[in-house]
Every structure is written in structure tokens, then in C-alpha cells.
Amino acid sequence: MLDELAITRDHYQAAINDPAALLARISSALEAHGAPITAERMGSFDQFHIGGLASSIELAARMDIAGDAQVLDAGSGLGGPSRYLAEAFGCQVTGIDLAPAYVAIAQLLADKAGVSEKVRYVAGSITDMPFPSETFDRVWTQHVVMNIRDRDSLYREIRRVLKMGGRFAFYDPYVPAGGEAPHYPTPWAESAATSTLLTEDETRASLAQAGLKVVLWEDVSEQGKDWITQQQQIRQLAAAPTGPAFSLGWVVGPRMQPMVANFAKNIQEGRIRLVMGICEAA
């Protein structure tokens, strides 16, 4: 495995010492809480990005998804966004993620929620995907690309698996041109050495070389700031493993607290901005 992929995988799984024990813990918590296991109910656990489920709903509203669409969630994490898409639109969703423990949790949640006929998960890198060309009508990604240095190759790989005329939706951090350096660690990187944040112009150029035509670039930094201040989700993200509700802290551990705080500070200080974008496969 290339260094970048190994570093990223280990970063996200650092707090998981015993994957089987974690799965058992999630399983018994789900049983204790009873059915139904909906995207809304699980959002504080399985939506791993600024804005939580609300951001996934916003992005989906911009993507135009048909019930018979084949959708790829690139960097699917714990599976909240993919389950939401399957629940809300009835489409078939494939999630791919580098972290095998995350894939196992996503599959467990899908099984328990009764949507495993609509969603499936694969362990692997989105830089080299095990799917034939032109497989998907829609590809989406949220808060993953900061882990990938060679953005040109990544976007070419995404374009490869998209059908002609298909759409690529993204919700990602980016940096303003000439802005101040972000604070680290962040949720995706211990330091600047393992983080790749592009400017808008750099991102657009990278998408264009891959044959992805930008039809929407919407800066959603203000919504991100509102979410940070009003929803108090940061505390949930950083909650200790003994927290009362389903918490992302079970998976990422207490080390997430300073990382999330830095991400929030970076957004509030304008060092990092947030964008939702839509591209068409040209």
C-alpha cells in the first residue's frame, strides 16, 4: 500500500483497537435503542462531515437523483450518507472506503436498518476503484479529498466510473487564495504534511482536466459556521466513548476533540472554506 493510503487508513482507525468489540458494542446499542434505525436517528454517529445529515440533504437536493440511479459514495465512512440516499430516493448506492473497520460498521448499520438490498460497501481506495468504467449515474464525495495529494488522478478516476452525462457532487473544504495557513491537527490530518487543500481555481482546473464540467460552485461556509455554533455538534463528535447517545467518538476516540475544534476555528477564521459543487461528465 502506498504511504499516503496507509497513513490515512491508520489515521481514521487509530482509536479502534478491537474492531470486533466495537461492532458488538454498536450492535447491542442498536438493540437497546430499538427500531427503526433511520438516517435521522443515526446522524450524530454516521455523518462524518460539517453539517451532519442536513448537509447530505442539501447536497442531494443539488444532485438530481432518480429512483433507478446507480450512485457511488466515494469515501463512504460509516455509511450515513449512503443510507440516507437509499432511504430518500430508493436508488442503489455503493460505498467505497479505505478503512475496513468503517466499511464493516457501515454494513452492520445497513443490515440492521434493513436497507442492505439498496446499499453495499467495498473496502478500497477511491484513487484506484474496482469498478468498470461508466458504472455510475451519480458519484458523490464529502470531506475525503483532503487526504489525496494527486487530485488530478483522483478526479480522472471518478470521471472514469461515471457514465457520460452523469453527475459528480462534492462537499469539501478548500482554502482561499493567499489565505492564512490552517491550524492542525484537523479531523483528516495530524499536520499539513498529510493534508491537501486546494484553492477554488486549483480545484476547478483539476476537475476540468478530468473532463468534469463544473455547473455549480456554491460556497457554504456560512452554513458551516452556523452549524458549528448553533447545533453544538462538535461536542457530540468529540464525545467520550461513554457518551449517552450514538456518538462518532466511539469510533474516533477523544483525540478527535482538538481536531474538530481546529476545523471549526479554521472555518470561523476563514482559513478554510466549504463548497458544495456539481459537475457533469463531459
Please select the residue that binds ligand SAM; options are 127, 221, 233, 262, rule is CB under 6 A.
127
Q: State in angstroms the smallest separation of the CB of 178 from ligand SAM.
A: 26
Q: DSSP letters of 28-88?
A: HHHHHH-S---HHHHHHHH--STTHHHHHHHHHHHH---TT-EEEEET-TTSHHHHHHHHH
77 binds ligand SAM (CB under 6 A): yes
148 binds ligand SAM (CB under 6 A): yes
237 binds ligand SAM (CB under 6 A): no
Q: Which of residues 154-213 bind ligand SAM (CB under 6 A)?
A: 187-188
Neighbours of 98 (CB within 10 A): 25
Question: Measured between alpha carbons, how far is residue 77 from residues 104, 126, 171, 234 in Å?
Answer: 10, 12, 14, 18
C-alpha cell at 54: 442536513
Close Cβ partners of 225 (under 8 Å, ≥ 6 residues apart): 267, 268
From 43-51, 207-215, 223-231, 249-257, span contacting ligand SAM (CB under 6 A)? 43-51
Q: State in angstroms the smallest separation of the CB of 85 from ligand SAM.
A: 12
From 16-24, 37-45, 142-150, 265-273, span contacting ligand SAM (CB under 6 A)? 142-150
Of residues 16, 12, 56, 54, the one with CA closest to residue 187: 12
Q: Which residue, 2 or 164, has its beta carbon nearer to ligand SAM?
A: 2
- Residues contributing to the site for ligand SAM (CB under 6 A): 5, 8, 12, 47-49, 75-77, 80-81, 96-99, 102, 125-127, 142-144, 147-148, 187-188
